[in-house]
Amino acid sequence: MLRVQDVMTTRLITIRHDQKMQDALDLMHSHRISSLPVLNYEDQLVGLITEYSILELLYDPQVAELSVGICMSKDPITVSPDTLVSDVVGKMALHRIRQVLVLDKQQRLVGLVSLRDLVHTAYQVRLDELKAAVAPIS
């Protein structure tokens, strides 16, 4: 059974809670990502900035000067590295979200699972099944 630690992204781009929303937009654009985990000065997760947060900035340019801490989602959905992938799929469907953040036992941010990660995993698993089915025939 696949677990979060098998599919999560570990190279994360983060932002501090006191940075400006314009900084968030710049980071998301330059790294081509759809969300930013928000950390405090102790590197603890305090929120999440998503593409929807950026839409506010596009609607009202004055939002660019607001701090990320004001605009972020304050209670992002989190899981642990040993959570089953099937449970993550359920959480994402239930909450209609595109990613979940992964926290270790000390509540430190260690990864992120996105819809893209899940699609890639589904493709890989299916490809492995097909290869296994074809191998005995060859």
The pTM assigned to this predicted structure is 0.83
Helices (H) then strands (E): counts for the chain: 6, 6
Is 90 exceeded by the pLDDT of residue 1? no
Residues 97, 72 contacting (CB under 8 angstroms): no
Distances (CA, A) of 88 to 116, 121, 129, 132, 138: 13, 13, 22, 26, 37
- Output the CA angle 10-16-19, nearest 5 degrees: 135
Q: What is the mean pLDDT of residues 10-29?
A: 95
Write out pLDDT tens, residues 59-72.
Answer: 888 888 899 999 99
The pair of structure tokens assigned to 5 is 């630690």
Select the more confidently predicted residue: 132 or 80: 80
Delineate the domains of the chain, giving CATH numbers in brackets: 4-134 (3.10.580.10)
Mean pLDDT of 2-30: 94
pLDDT at 128: 72
